[in-house]
Chain A
Amino acid sequence: MNRLSCEYVQSEVVTIRVGRGAKIGLGIAIAIVAVGVLFVFYTLDPGEQPIFPRCPFLLLTGYECPGCGSQRAIHSLLHFDFKAAFRSNALMVPAIPYILVGIYLQYFGGSRRHPKVEKILYGRWSALTVLVLVFAFWIGRNLF
């Protein structure tokens, strides 16, 4: 390893140390909120309960946005009903593992351990692929 990259690594370690306590606290807070939200989504059905907010895009335009149905999809996924989840929002189901891998790579040291994975899954072509997928899904779900 040459000198330059050593310096870079050192400076990054320092920045991580500075905010470590705060970061752990924030992580715990986010985890608690997430568990609470998931519990609500498990017990209540967004298809029936009016407490879940409706999509403003759908209410305004009458067309479904790429995120419409994701609340019902979460509810179905928590009950392991993959068919219903796919019917509610087909983009949501593959997006969840993708997002989890992204979180791992960015916040849990994954990008240093698996740089190739990051380059393939979150690089140039994957960003374009995601873009095309989202638009195709958006148009397709309103046509069919």
Chain B
Amino acid sequence: MEDNNFTPPPVPPVDGLGGWQAPPVRDTSDDIPPLKPNNWLWQSIVATILCCLVFGVVGIIYAAKVDSLYYKGQYEEAERAAKRAKIWTLIAVVVGVVYIAVSLSLYLTGNLEGLQELIEESASGYNF
């Protein structure tokens, strides 16, 4: 029962009192593969579709990198890509929340019209 629930990584048997060190495995070749880092895939999709410009897309790109690198055995690179995926997703969410807060407060204080005219003058008059 328990065994079925517990999943990767495939841990090769280690003799003696081998204390298991958390990833990343550095020097002694790749005896024990570290856990696959979280790739932040669905979070970056949330960021892309629910608010936040291109930053969420960058998150998805790194999410794709995490898993490809991990299954190629490049664990450190996968770890790094996971960190970047996290950072870009968080940037997207923070920028999105700040933008929403600013435009909401401008609307509530009655200054939104000016801002939108300003933006639309510098861009097309496309309405959404």
Minimal beta-carbon separation of A116 from chain B (angstroms): 8
CA distance A77 to B115 in the complex (A): 30
Q: Is B123 a contact of A61 with CB atoms below 8 Å?
A: yes
Chain A contacts of B60 at CB under 8 A?
127, 130-131, 134
Give the number of residues in A that approach B within 8 Å (Cβ atoms): 49
Main secondary structure of the interface of A (DSSP, over half): helix
> Hey, what's the 0/1 contact readout for B22-58 against A, CB within 8 Å counting as 1?
0000000000000000110111011011111110110
In the complex, A109 Cα to B56 Cα: how many Å?
25
B48 and A7: CB pair below 8 A? no
- Name B residues whose Cβ lies closer than 8 Å to a Cβ of A: 2-3, 5-8, 11, 13-14, 18, 20, 38-39, 41-43, 45-46, 48-54, 56-57, 60-61, 63-64, 66-68, 70-71, 99-100, 103-104, 107, 112, 116, 119-120, 122-124, 126, 128
Enumerate 5 A-B pairs (CB-CB under 8 Å) in ascending A order. Answer: A1-B6, A4-B11, A67-B52, A69-B128, A134-B45
**Residues of A that sit less than 8 Å from B by CB:** 1-2, 4-5, 7-9, 50-51, 53-62, 64-70, 89, 91-92, 95, 98-99, 101-103, 106, 112-113, 115, 122-124, 126-128, 130-131, 134-135
